[in-house]
Amino acid sequence: EVQLLESGGGLVQPGGSLRLSCAASGFTFTNNAMSWVRQAPGKGLEWVSGISGGGGTTYYADSVKGRFTISRDNSKNTLYLQMNTLRAEDTAVYYCAKDRAYSGSYWDYWGQGTLVTVSS
Amino acid sequence: DIQMTQSPSTLSASVGDRVTITCRASQSISNWLAWYQQKAGKAPKLLIYKASSLESGVPSRFSGSGSGTEFTLTISSLQPDDFASYYCQQYNSNWTFGQGTKVEIK
């Protein structure tokens, strides 16, 4: 059974940093691209960042480019999102999502989400 | 960037109704489109991929159609479990979601 478990969310001040993790199980992690998707309170879904199965290709939404870094450790079956220079508008539930393919398709499994709140 | 425009934003319907949600892309995305269902406080769930392919385990009352820039999600006979929000998503060039459609009880 595929499972994705996010952690690392919490309250952080504007300008601060946070690292999210997503522990994956139930599938061959290196075979699938992964993404982070967020949802601000009461709002729709917004793709944040993606990474290919081997980790060699990364993608970012314009809203986070230069501030967020996606990475993965295939030996630990874990996806990461390093978030720097956080802003109030980054407040959201962050989901990790498993891509059906090695790179760039749709997402067939999602984690339960972790809440990031950026506030002073 | 490819923009996705979804309509309507809210839809009021009754159990048994046929429901259609539309999604338009700002440029052609071929059939690289997925539909997701999201219930309050839960993660999204994949319903349809490649515009019209039904994900395993999803009831056959859900169907998708379209290609290029115009797409639809149809629920043939709305069931109580279907009251939720629905999102289209393009994966032709990076990923973009539509704004979402909330299906409410009439």
pLDDT score recorded for residue B89: 97
Which pLDDT band, with edges at 50, 70 and 90, does A101 fall under?
A: confident
DSSP bridge partners of B105? B13
pLDDT score recorded for residue A103: 79
Q: Are A97 and A37 in contact (CB under 8 A)?
A: yes
Nearest CA in chain B to A105: B91
Average pLDDT over residues A74-101: 97
What would the pLDDT profile of A102-112 be if each residue is shown by its tens digit? 877 999 999 99
DSSP A34-82: EEEEEE-TTS-EEEEEEE-TTS--EEE-TTTTTTEEEEEETTTTEEEEE
DSSP bridge partners of B36? B46, B87
Q: Is the pLDDT at A94 greater than 90, yes or no? A: yes
The total of other beta-carbon atoms located within 10 Å of residue A58's CB is: 13
Please name the amino acid found at residue A49: S
Within the 1-60 window of chain B, which residues sit less than 8 Å (CB to CB) from chain A?
1, 32, 34, 36, 38, 42-46, 49, 55
Q: Is the pLDDT at A82 greater than 90, yes or no? A: yes
What would the pLDDT profile of B35-85 be if each residue is shown by its tens digit? 999 999 999 999 999 999 999 999 999 999 999 999 999 999 999 999 999
User: Tokens standing for A43?
Assistant: 């709002």
Q: Hey, are the CB atoms on B34 and A107 less than 8 Å from each other?
A: yes
Contacts of B24 (CB under 8 A, 6+ apart): B4, B5, B6, B7, B69, B70, B71
By C-alpha distance, which of A98, A96, A99 is closest to A112? A96
